[in-house]
Amino acid sequence: MNHFPGNVKLLSTQRYIDGGKSSGNFDNFNLALHVNDSRANVLENRKILKVQFDLPTDPVWISQTHSSTCIDAASIKKIVQADASYSSKLGIVCGIMTADCLPIFVSNKDGTMVGIAHAGWRGLASGIIENLIKAFNSNGDNLVVHLGPAISKKCFEVGDEVKSLYLSKNINFERSFTIKSNKNYLDLYDAARVILEGYQINSISGGDRCTFQESNNFFSYRRDGINSGRMAHLIWMT
């Protein structure tokens, strides 16, 4: 992540932290209020998040629906439905939550605008990355991207309909699929790169973790089901 400007801060939380309050399947640093965890515990975790990582303000959370909606984080006063946010104001913390989906951090090279997208297979296919990139109104070679922790290709089986949908959007997605024992496996990291490279964005890091396999580090919806906690992914400018 060192190719980001010095004033741009990125954070991906893990599932455990000293002092984390959640227990059971949410043990111990779940940050989501919508997953049947104790509200009091989640709010305590959010306090820990702000203090321990020295956030300038509370994150601007969004209600994620696997859409292609991208919003200006500085413009909203209450939680809205969206799957990406951006800001050109200092101290505004853009945030998403995941438990297998792909977090995509973006900044321009002069550190005057940042954004983040939540890209599961639905959002990625529907254009969430494109809408975030377009918000920057910038040439691709002026942007840097980091791919946060997501489910890896070998653990992400998808149906034929998903593959067909992707190929109908862009034939270059062919490279992002692997067939094993007549089953399709999707590489979310590579699918994101297909889109980013289409904008001539070449400064891309990350894409080497697996939320499903790394159970000591990450929550995973595919692994743990509806009682999976969520990690937070945040980006802001100082």
Do the bridges between strand 231-237 and strand 8-12 make them parallel or antiparallel, or are there none, so unpaired? antiparallel
Q: Is residue 170 part of a domain?
A: no
Q: Is 26 exposed, middle or buried (0-12, 13-18, 19+ CB in 10 A)?
A: buried
Q: What average pLDDT does the segment 177-205 reach? A: 97
Q: Residue 154: left (phi > 0), alpha (psi -120 to 50), or beta?
A: alpha
Q: Is residue 186 part of a domain?
A: no
Residue 119 pLDDT grade (very low, low, confident, very high; cuts 50, 70, 90): very high
What is the DSSP track for 124-178?
A: HHHTHHHHHHHHT-S-GGGEEEEE-----GGG-EE-HHHHHHHHHH-GGGGGGEE
Q: Is residue 37 part of a domain?
A: yes
pLDDT for residue 2: 61
Q: Is residue 69 part of a domain?
A: yes
pLDDT for residue 4: 97
Q: Is residue 214 part of a domain?
A: yes
Residue 1 has pLDDT above 70, yes or no: no
Residue 13 has pLDDT above 90, yes or no: yes
Query: Is 136 in contact with 162 (CB distance < 8 Å)?
Result: no
pLDDT for residue 237: 98
* Counted domains in the chain: 1
| pLDDT above 70: percentage of residues in the chain | 99
Q: Which domain holds residue 209?
A: 8-151+200-237
Q: Is 77 exposed, middle or buried (0-12, 13-18, 19+ CB in 10 A)?
A: exposed
Q: What average pLDDT does the segment 44-71 reach? A: 98
| Closest C-alpha among 34, 22, 97 to residue 66 | 97
Q: Which helix (H) or strand (E) holds 49?
A: helix 39-52
Q: Is residue 146 part of a domain?
A: yes
Is the peptide bond between 28 and the residue preceding it cis, with omega within 30 degrees of 0? yes
Q: What average pLDDT does the segment 21-33 reach? A: 97
Q: Can you name the residues that pair with 118 across neighbouring β-strands?
A: 103
Residue 144 pLDDT grade (very low, low, confident, very high; cuts 50, 70, 90): very high
Residue 106 has pLDDT above 90, yes or no: yes
pLDDT for residue 217: 98
Q: Can you name the residues that pair with 186 across neighbouring β-strands?
A: 177
101/84 Cα distance (integer angstroms): 13
223/232 Cα distance (integer angstroms): 18
Q: What is the dihedral of CA 152, 154, 158, 162, to 10 degrees?
A: 70
DSSP 8-state symbol, 216? T
Q: Is 151 exposed, middle or buried (0-12, 13-18, 19+ CB in 10 A)?
A: buried
Q: Is residue 164 part of a domain?
A: no
Query: Is 117 in contact with 123 (CB distance < 8 Å)?
Result: yes
The CATH number that applies at residue 90 is 3.60.140.10
Residue range 207-229, pLDDT digits in tens: 999 999 999 999 999 999 999 99
Q: Is residue 76 part of a domain?
A: yes
